[in-house]
Structure formats: structure tokens, C-alpha cells
Amino acid sequence: MKVVFFGTPQFAVSTLEKLVIHPKFDVLGVVTQPDKRRGRGNQMIPSPVKAVALAQQLPVWQPQRLKKDAETLNQLKQLEADVFVVVAYGQILSQEILDMPALGCINVHGSILPKYRGAAPIQRSIANGEAEAGITTMLMDAGMDTGSMLLQASIPIQLLDNAHQLALTLSIVGADLLVETLVKLERQEIQPMPQDSAQATYAPLIQKQDYYLNWSHKAIDLHNQIRGLYPDCVAKFRNEMLKITATAPIGAAYGSALPPKLQALEDNLSLSSVSGKAGEVVSIAKKLGPIVQTGEGLLLLLEVQMAGKRIQSGWDFVNGMRLSVGEVLEGFEL
């Protein structure tokens, strides 16, 4: 089966690698986003997908606007591909492109559609406290993740999973599901299923204000926000910005979802008898980090990152800043 692959971030790499090594598929080339300037040296850096494509000596196209690039469109059409596979490419495909391959364009989407259509399904599903995540393969149409579904797979979201960890797992699930989809599609063993748009929810792009923490919110909601939008959620500490990159909600309600050493904290530190105002450090867990009062419940800060510094453990943060009970971390009122 002749395949053209469209994708850009790390999430798409597993699928491309799977297609390249599979004897049933011939990857004719890769379409990815243009290189971007990144890092302190402001150097032009290729996308993760392009790096793999070059290592595999595959042709690469990087149009600024694919649907307006007549030369690239003509070259893609001349390939006479059986299928275009699209995984987090980052540009909308025009109807002209969708109509090119014989079997259509197959998208690997990081949610259990019709839930979480849009650009940030993995981040939004964690931030919203969902219990499971998944992958849907679908036939693409002109809408935003509205095409008929082909196959789906789901996995549980663990309490301490963050978006980076979940994306790595789902990328592997998606690669396997895509191969199964293409094989069954060629054999006509899949009946595409239209989505129920009445059940649809959306996962829009992350905005700057989404990263701001408000300590008056519930501990579990803050925890989900921090791990869902990892690693960029911020509060303020001693008049400077402080990223909070890993937390754990503390309390009997979370039971076996927490590691044993975190389950024991409530009793060991007599946390049921402590309280403070939102954002206040009400206790310090030895070897772990500060425990902060929220609008409802307590939140243990396991990892933080001060401006211009590397990520550090909550315990190193306590020691390095000589943090004490009663100190207050500020949040943002939105």
C-alpha cells in the first residue's frame, strides 16, 4: 500500500516509524511543518517527524501553507498514493487534498471521538479529570475531526499521569491502531461509522491564561490542570513566577490511586487538623515537598521550576528557599 505521511510533533513519530518498517506499506514521502527557530541559539530545528524522515531517507515536503502551494500539491497528486495518513500535522487539508488518495485520508486522533475534537485532546482530557483517554482512526472530511470513525482504542488515565506521559503511551497505541485500520480497510473489513455530533465536545488550543493557577480552586482541579498542561502551569512565589510541574492531591478520597507513601501522609502529618488560606503552605512532607491549602483540599507540590532554573523536586525547593509553614504562594484571579 502506497502511503504519504503527514505529521509534525513527537506524538506522530511512532506511527511513521511503524509504517516505515512494516512490509505491507511503502511510505512515498512525508509532509511536515516548516523548521522553526528554537532554543537559546535560535537555531532552525526540524520537526521530530522530519528528523525521522531524513534518517529513513524519505522525501520531505514542508510548505508554509499546503493548500496554497501549487507545486507541492502537484507533486503529491502525481504520487498516486493509496492513502494519506495524518497524525497531528498542524494544517487544515483542503478538499482537493482529501480527494487525492484512492482510499482517502486517514487521521489518527488522540481522543475517543466524538469527545475532544480539536487541537489539544490529550491535554484537555486530563485537565478535565477524565478517567480514560484513547485513539480514534477516522476518514477525514472538511470538518474539524468530524469524519466517520474507523477503529477506536482506550486506556485508563492514572491519577499521577501527565500529558507528556500519556501522549507517549497513546502514540504507541495510535501506531498499532493505524496499521490495523489500514489492513482492515484494504480488506473491506471496516464499516465507517458516522459520529454523533450531539455528543461532541471540543479541545481548543491551549491559551496563555489556561496555565495560570488559582489556589481558590479545588485541589483535584488544580492537580488536573497542572498535569494536563504539563509543564507550564504557573503561580507566583516571592514576587517571581514559579512553574509547578508535578503535584498530588492528598486525602482519603484518592485511596489506592496514590503510592503508599503518599497515602500515609494524611495520618503521619495529622493533616486533617490543619488548615490555612488558599495558597498557604500548611505542612511540609519530609523528602517530598510543601503541602498547600487550596479552596478545597490539600495539594502536595512534588516538582517545581523557578524562573531560569531547572525542574527540581519539591523537597529541594523547600530546602533551597528555606520554605516554612505559613508562607503563601500567590495565584491568579481570572
Instruction: Give the residue ranges of the annotated binding site.
Output: 111-114
Annotated binding site for (6S)-5,6,7,8-tetrahydrofolate: 111-114
Beta-carbon contacts of 267 under 8 Å, excluding residues fewer than 6 positions away, are: none
Whether residue 165 contacts residue 231, with contact meaning beta carbons closer than 8 Å, is answered with: no
Phi, psi of 260 (to 5 degrees): -55, -40
> How far apart are alpha carbons 239 and 261 in whole angstroms?
32
3-class secondary structure, 122: helix
240-250 and 298-306: which strand pairing?
antiparallel
Distance of CA 306 to the CA centre of its chain: 23
User: Which residue type does 280 have?
Assistant: E
DSSP state, 171? Answer: H
105-109 and 132-139: which strand pairing?
antiparallel
Cell numbers describing residue 108: 489518527
Whether residue 186 contacts residue 1, with contact meaning beta carbons closer than 8 Å, is answered with: yes
Cα–Cα–Cα angle for 121, 94, 22, rounded to 5 degrees: 65
- The residue assigned the cell 480552586 is 217
